[in-house]
Amino acid sequence: MQALQKSFRRLYSSLPDAAASARTASTPRAVRLRRLRKRPELVAADSDATPSGLTPTEFARYQRGLAKGELVTPDGKELSESEWLAKLNDRRTRIRGTKTVQKDGTTQTQVVGRKVYLPNLIFRMVRNFTPPGKPYNPYEATFRVSQSVTKTDIRSYLTTIYGVQTTYIRTDNYLSPYSRTFTGWAKKRKEYKRAVVGLVEPFYYPQAIEDMPRVEREKREKWLEDSFHTKRIKEMRTWELLRMTKKGSKNWHWKKGEDGHHTAQRGKILAAVAAQRAKREQFLLETKERMTQCRVTGEAIV
Protein backbone atom coordinates (compact mmCIF):
# COMPACT_ATOMS: atom_id res chain seq x y z
CA MET A 1 0.00 0.00 0.00
CA GLN A 2 2.88 2.38 0.75
CA ALA A 3 4.36 1.67 -2.68
CA LEU A 4 0.99 2.42 -4.22
CA GLN A 5 0.83 5.68 -2.30
CA LYS A 6 4.26 6.67 -3.62
CA SER A 7 3.08 6.25 -7.21
CA PHE A 8 0.46 8.96 -6.63
CA ARG A 9 2.85 11.68 -5.50
CA ARG A 10 3.23 12.99 -9.02
CA LEU A 11 0.42 15.46 -9.61
CA TYR A 12 -1.12 16.64 -12.84
CA SER A 13 0.57 20.02 -12.46
CA SER A 14 3.98 18.34 -12.90
CA LEU A 15 3.19 16.63 -16.21
CA PRO A 16 6.03 16.33 -18.74
CA ASP A 17 5.81 18.74 -21.65
CA ALA A 18 5.22 15.86 -24.08
CA ALA A 19 2.33 14.51 -21.99
CA ALA A 20 0.75 17.97 -21.72
CA SER A 21 1.06 18.48 -25.48
CA ALA A 22 -0.44 15.04 -26.10
CA ARG A 23 -3.35 15.92 -23.81
CA THR A 24 -3.96 19.10 -25.79
CA ALA A 25 -3.70 17.33 -29.16
CA SER A 26 -6.21 14.67 -28.08
CA THR A 27 -9.04 17.15 -27.54
CA PRO A 28 -11.85 17.10 -30.14
CA ARG A 29 -11.18 19.15 -33.25
CA ALA A 30 -14.07 21.54 -32.63
CA VAL A 31 -12.74 22.26 -29.13
CA ARG A 32 -9.21 22.90 -30.42
CA LEU A 33 -10.48 25.32 -33.09
CA ARG A 34 -12.58 27.19 -30.55
CA ARG A 35 -9.60 27.51 -28.21
CA LEU A 36 -7.33 28.68 -31.03
CA ARG A 37 -9.81 31.45 -31.87
CA LYS A 38 -9.61 32.64 -28.26
CA ARG A 39 -5.81 32.26 -28.07
CA PRO A 40 -4.39 32.51 -31.61
CA GLU A 41 -0.83 32.74 -30.29
CA LEU A 42 -0.87 29.02 -29.42
CA VAL A 43 1.01 26.59 -31.65
CA ALA A 44 -0.73 23.33 -32.59
CA ALA A 45 2.07 21.21 -31.09
CA ASP A 46 2.18 23.09 -27.75
CA SER A 47 0.12 22.68 -24.60
CA ASP A 48 -2.79 25.04 -23.97
CA ALA A 49 -2.44 24.81 -20.17
CA THR A 50 -1.83 27.87 -18.04
CA PRO A 51 1.58 28.45 -16.38
CA SER A 52 0.17 26.96 -13.16
CA GLY A 53 -0.85 23.77 -15.00
CA LEU A 54 -4.60 24.29 -15.40
CA THR A 55 -6.27 23.22 -18.60
CA PRO A 56 -8.79 25.65 -20.18
CA THR A 57 -11.64 23.60 -18.70
CA GLU A 58 -10.08 23.59 -15.23
CA PHE A 59 -9.32 27.31 -15.50
CA ALA A 60 -13.00 27.98 -16.36
CA ARG A 61 -14.06 25.95 -13.31
CA TYR A 62 -11.62 27.94 -11.18
CA GLN A 63 -13.03 31.23 -12.44
CA ARG A 64 -16.61 30.10 -11.74
CA GLY A 65 -15.61 29.04 -8.23
CA LEU A 66 -14.10 32.47 -7.60
CA ALA A 67 -17.22 34.23 -8.88
CA LYS A 68 -19.47 32.14 -6.63
CA GLY A 69 -17.26 32.60 -3.60
CA GLU A 70 -16.65 28.87 -3.19
CA LEU A 71 -12.84 29.16 -2.97
CA VAL A 72 -12.62 31.21 0.21
CA THR A 73 -10.59 29.68 3.05
CA PRO A 74 -11.64 29.96 6.72
CA ASP A 75 -9.14 32.78 7.22
CA GLY A 76 -10.84 34.85 4.47
CA LYS A 77 -8.29 34.33 1.68
CA GLU A 78 -9.01 33.02 -1.80
CA LEU A 79 -7.27 29.94 -3.14
CA SER A 80 -4.72 30.58 -5.86
CA GLU A 81 -4.63 28.52 -9.05
CA SER A 82 -1.82 26.32 -7.73
CA GLU A 83 -3.56 25.75 -4.40
CA TRP A 84 -6.87 24.93 -6.08
CA LEU A 85 -5.14 22.51 -8.46
CA ALA A 86 -3.32 20.82 -5.58
CA LYS A 87 -6.65 20.39 -3.78
CA LEU A 88 -8.21 18.97 -6.93
CA ASN A 89 -5.27 16.58 -7.38
CA ASP A 90 -5.64 15.36 -3.81
CA ARG A 91 -9.21 14.40 -4.59
CA ARG A 92 -8.25 12.78 -7.91
CA THR A 93 -5.46 10.67 -6.48
CA ARG A 94 -7.14 9.51 -3.32
CA ILE A 95 -7.48 5.77 -2.69
CA ARG A 96 -10.90 4.69 -1.60
CA GLY A 97 -11.05 2.43 1.42
CA THR A 98 -7.99 3.85 3.21
CA LYS A 99 -7.29 6.49 5.81
CA THR A 100 -4.20 8.04 7.35
CA VAL A 101 -3.71 7.55 11.12
CA GLN A 102 -1.08 8.61 13.60
CA LYS A 103 0.37 5.69 15.54
CA ASP A 104 3.44 5.78 17.81
CA GLY A 105 4.43 9.13 16.37
CA THR A 106 4.42 7.89 12.76
CA THR A 107 1.92 8.31 9.94
CA GLN A 108 0.49 5.04 8.66
CA THR A 109 -2.07 4.10 6.04
CA GLN A 110 -4.85 1.90 7.32
CA VAL A 111 -7.34 0.02 5.17
CA VAL A 112 -10.94 0.53 6.18
CA GLY A 113 -14.22 -0.85 4.90
CA ARG A 114 -14.77 -4.21 3.29
CA LYS A 115 -12.53 -5.89 0.74
CA VAL A 116 -12.88 -5.03 -2.94
CA TYR A 117 -12.26 -7.93 -5.31
CA LEU A 118 -11.18 -7.73 -8.93
CA PRO A 119 -14.09 -6.76 -11.18
CA ASN A 120 -15.37 -9.14 -13.82
CA LEU A 121 -14.27 -6.89 -16.67
CA ILE A 122 -12.09 -7.34 -19.73
CA PHE A 123 -9.90 -4.44 -20.83
CA ARG A 124 -8.42 -5.20 -24.25
CA MET A 125 -5.51 -2.96 -25.12
CA VAL A 126 -5.12 -2.15 -28.81
CA ARG A 127 -2.75 0.00 -30.86
CA ASN A 128 -3.45 3.72 -31.01
CA PHE A 129 -4.80 5.17 -34.23
CA THR A 130 -1.91 6.98 -35.92
CA PRO A 131 -2.55 8.99 -39.12
CA PRO A 132 -0.17 8.28 -42.01
CA GLY A 133 3.06 10.21 -41.65
CA LYS A 134 2.50 10.98 -37.95
CA PRO A 135 4.62 9.54 -35.10
CA TYR A 136 3.13 7.14 -32.57
CA ASN A 137 1.90 8.93 -29.43
CA PRO A 138 3.32 7.11 -26.36
CA TYR A 139 1.30 9.29 -23.95
CA GLU A 140 -1.98 7.67 -25.01
CA ALA A 141 -3.36 4.16 -24.61
CA THR A 142 -6.43 2.73 -26.34
CA PHE A 143 -8.67 0.07 -24.79
CA ARG A 144 -11.75 -1.81 -25.92
CA VAL A 145 -14.11 -2.27 -23.01
CA SER A 146 -17.71 -3.20 -22.38
CA GLN A 147 -20.35 -0.57 -23.12
CA SER A 148 -21.46 -0.59 -19.48
CA VAL A 149 -18.05 0.68 -18.27
CA THR A 150 -17.89 4.40 -17.47
CA LYS A 151 -14.96 6.81 -17.44
CA THR A 152 -14.86 6.69 -13.63
CA ASP A 153 -14.66 2.89 -13.75
CA ILE A 154 -11.77 3.04 -16.23
CA ARG A 155 -9.82 5.55 -14.15
CA SER A 156 -10.37 3.60 -10.93
CA TYR A 157 -9.52 0.27 -12.56
CA LEU A 158 -6.20 1.47 -14.01
CA THR A 159 -5.24 3.40 -10.89
CA THR A 160 -6.04 0.90 -8.13
CA ILE A 161 -4.99 -2.31 -9.90
CA TYR A 162 -2.04 -1.26 -12.08
CA GLY A 163 -1.03 2.07 -10.51
CA VAL A 164 -1.39 3.86 -13.85
CA GLN A 165 -2.19 7.55 -13.47
CA THR A 166 -4.33 9.06 -16.21
CA THR A 167 -4.74 12.65 -17.36
CA TYR A 168 -7.90 12.32 -19.45
CA ILE A 169 -10.29 9.65 -20.73
CA ARG A 170 -12.33 9.94 -23.90
CA THR A 171 -14.77 7.23 -24.95
CA ASP A 172 -16.90 6.46 -27.99
CA ASN A 173 -19.27 3.60 -28.72
CA TYR A 174 -19.00 1.39 -31.81
CA LEU A 175 -22.47 0.46 -33.03
CA SER A 176 -22.52 -2.49 -35.38
CA PRO A 177 -24.47 -2.20 -38.65
CA TYR A 178 -27.40 -4.54 -39.20
CA SER A 179 -27.61 -7.12 -41.97
CA ARG A 180 -30.69 -8.90 -43.27
CA THR A 181 -30.93 -12.65 -42.61
CA PHE A 182 -33.50 -15.35 -43.29
CA THR A 183 -35.08 -14.76 -39.88
CA GLY A 184 -34.92 -10.95 -39.84
CA TRP A 185 -32.23 -8.42 -39.01
CA ALA A 186 -29.07 -9.17 -37.04
CA LYS A 187 -25.92 -7.31 -36.03
CA LYS A 188 -22.92 -8.05 -38.20
CA ARG A 189 -20.25 -7.52 -35.54
CA LYS A 190 -19.90 -7.28 -31.80
CA GLU A 191 -20.40 -3.84 -30.29
CA TYR A 192 -17.89 -2.33 -27.91
CA LYS A 193 -16.71 0.94 -26.37
CA ARG A 194 -13.34 2.46 -27.22
CA ALA A 195 -11.53 4.36 -24.48
CA VAL A 196 -8.57 6.63 -25.27
CA VAL A 197 -6.64 7.23 -22.04
CA GLY A 198 -4.00 9.89 -21.49
CA LEU A 199 -0.90 8.71 -19.61
CA VAL A 200 1.48 10.56 -17.32
CA GLU A 201 4.33 8.17 -18.09
CA PRO A 202 4.98 7.11 -21.71
CA PHE A 203 4.16 3.60 -22.91
CA TYR A 204 5.47 2.32 -26.23
CA TYR A 205 3.26 -0.29 -27.84
CA PRO A 206 5.22 -3.12 -29.50
CA GLN A 207 5.87 -2.50 -33.16
CA ALA A 208 3.85 -4.28 -35.81
CA ILE A 209 5.68 -7.09 -37.60
CA GLU A 210 5.76 -5.18 -40.89
CA ASP A 211 7.36 -2.16 -39.15
CA MET A 212 10.17 -4.14 -37.46
CA PRO A 213 13.71 -4.37 -38.82
CA ARG A 214 14.53 -7.56 -40.68
CA VAL A 215 16.40 -9.24 -37.79
CA GLU A 216 13.71 -8.44 -35.23
CA ARG A 217 10.95 -9.44 -37.64
CA GLU A 218 12.53 -12.84 -38.29
CA LYS A 219 13.04 -13.36 -34.57
CA ARG A 220 9.42 -12.42 -33.85
CA GLU A 221 8.06 -14.71 -36.57
CA LYS A 222 10.21 -17.58 -35.29
CA TRP A 223 8.88 -17.05 -31.76
CA LEU A 224 5.30 -17.02 -33.00
CA GLU A 225 5.86 -20.21 -34.99
CA ASP A 226 7.56 -22.00 -32.09
CA SER A 227 4.90 -20.91 -29.60
CA PHE A 228 1.68 -21.12 -31.61
CA HIS A 229 2.56 -23.09 -34.80
CA THR A 230 0.91 -20.45 -36.98
CA LYS A 231 1.95 -21.96 -40.33
CA ARG A 232 0.78 -25.43 -39.36
CA ILE A 233 -2.56 -24.09 -38.15
CA LYS A 234 -2.98 -22.12 -41.39
CA GLU A 235 -2.27 -25.22 -43.48
CA MET A 236 -4.68 -27.33 -41.43
CA ARG A 237 -7.39 -24.68 -41.80
CA THR A 238 -6.86 -24.59 -45.58
CA TRP A 239 -7.07 -28.35 -45.91
CA GLU A 240 -10.16 -28.50 -43.69
CA LEU A 241 -11.94 -25.85 -45.75
CA LEU A 242 -11.00 -27.73 -48.91
CA ARG A 243 -12.33 -30.97 -47.46
CA MET A 244 -15.60 -29.37 -46.34
CA THR A 245 -16.27 -27.41 -49.53
CA LYS A 246 -14.86 -29.64 -52.25
CA LYS A 247 -14.10 -33.31 -52.09
CA GLY A 248 -16.70 -35.39 -50.30
CA SER A 249 -19.50 -32.82 -50.48
CA LYS A 250 -22.82 -33.38 -52.20
CA ASN A 251 -22.77 -33.36 -56.04
CA TRP A 252 -18.99 -33.07 -55.99
CA HIS A 253 -17.09 -34.01 -59.17
CA TRP A 254 -13.85 -33.18 -60.87
CA LYS A 255 -14.06 -30.46 -63.50
CA LYS A 256 -13.62 -31.61 -67.11
CA GLY A 257 -11.97 -29.78 -69.96
CA GLU A 258 -13.16 -29.34 -73.52
CA ASP A 259 -11.58 -32.65 -74.50
CA GLY A 260 -13.74 -34.42 -71.92
CA HIS A 261 -10.82 -35.33 -69.66
CA HIS A 262 -10.56 -34.41 -66.00
CA THR A 263 -8.38 -31.41 -65.15
CA ALA A 264 -7.43 -32.49 -61.65
CA GLN A 265 -3.76 -32.97 -62.49
CA ARG A 266 -1.42 -30.00 -62.52
CA GLY A 267 -0.24 -30.62 -66.08
CA LYS A 268 -3.77 -30.72 -67.43
CA ILE A 269 -4.70 -27.56 -65.51
CA LEU A 270 -1.73 -25.70 -67.03
CA ALA A 271 -2.62 -27.03 -70.48
CA ALA A 272 -6.20 -25.77 -70.10
CA VAL A 273 -4.94 -22.34 -69.01
CA ALA A 274 -2.56 -22.19 -71.99
CA ALA A 275 -5.39 -23.13 -74.38
CA GLN A 276 -7.58 -20.34 -73.02
CA ARG A 277 -4.74 -17.83 -73.40
CA ALA A 278 -4.11 -18.96 -76.99
CA LYS A 279 -7.81 -18.61 -77.81
CA ARG A 280 -7.83 -15.09 -76.33
CA GLU A 281 -4.73 -14.02 -78.28
CA GLN A 282 -6.24 -15.40 -81.50
CA PHE A 283 -9.48 -13.49 -80.87
CA LEU A 284 -7.58 -10.22 -80.27
CA LEU A 285 -5.52 -10.74 -83.46
CA GLU A 286 -8.59 -11.36 -85.59
CA THR A 287 -10.34 -8.30 -84.13
CA LYS A 288 -7.31 -6.12 -84.88
CA GLU A 289 -7.15 -7.33 -88.50
CA ARG A 290 -10.88 -6.72 -89.00
CA MET A 291 -10.63 -3.17 -87.60
CA THR A 292 -7.66 -2.43 -89.89
CA GLN A 293 -9.55 -3.72 -92.93
CA CYS A 294 -12.60 -1.58 -92.04
CA ARG A 295 -10.43 1.56 -91.82
CA VAL A 296 -8.95 0.84 -95.28
CA THR A 297 -12.35 0.28 -96.96
CA GLY A 298 -14.09 3.05 -95.03
CA GLU A 299 -16.68 0.75 -93.49
CA ALA A 300 -18.12 1.32 -90.02
CA ILE A 301 -16.41 -0.63 -87.26
CA VAL A 302 -18.94 -2.77 -85.46
Looking at the fold, whether 134 and 198 belong to one and the same domain comes out as yes
Answer yes or no: is 57 within a domain.
yes
220 lies in which domain range? 215-245
Mean pLDDT across the stretch 74-80? 86
Looking at the fold, whether 11 and 64 belong to one and the same domain comes out as yes
Answer yes or no: is 67 within a domain.
yes
Per-residue pLDDT tens digits for 253-279: 666 666 666 656 777 778 878 888 999
Q: Which of 205, 232, 262 is the last residue of a domain?
A: 205
User: Looking at per-residue confidence, does 182 or 92 come out higher?
Assistant: 182
Answer yes or no: is 294 within a domain.
no
Looking at the fold, whether 52 and 17 belong to one and the same domain comes out as yes
Answer yes or no: is 254 within a domain.
no
CATH number of the structural domain spanning residue 187: 3.30.70.330
Tally of structural domains, the chain: 3
Looking at the fold, whether 19 and 64 belong to one and the same domain comes out as yes
DSSP for the chain, written as a single string: -HHHHHTT-S-GGG--HHHHHHHHHTS-HHHHHHHHHH-TT--TTS----TTS--HHHHHHHHHHHHHTTTB-TTSPBPPHHHHHHHHHHHHT--TTEEEEEETTEEEEEE-SS--PPPS---EEEPPP--TTPPP-TTEEEEEE-TT--HHHHHHHHHHHH---EEEEEEEEEPPPEEEETTEEEESS--EEEEEEEESS---PPPPGGGS-HHHHHHHHHHHHHHH-HHHHHHHHHHHHHHHHTTTSTT----B-TTS-B--SHHHHHHHHHHHHHHHHHHHHHHHHHHHHHHHHTPPP-
Q: Which of 175, 205, 235 is the last residue of a domain?
A: 205
Answer yes or no: is 39 within a domain.
yes
Q: Does pTM surpass 0.75? A: no
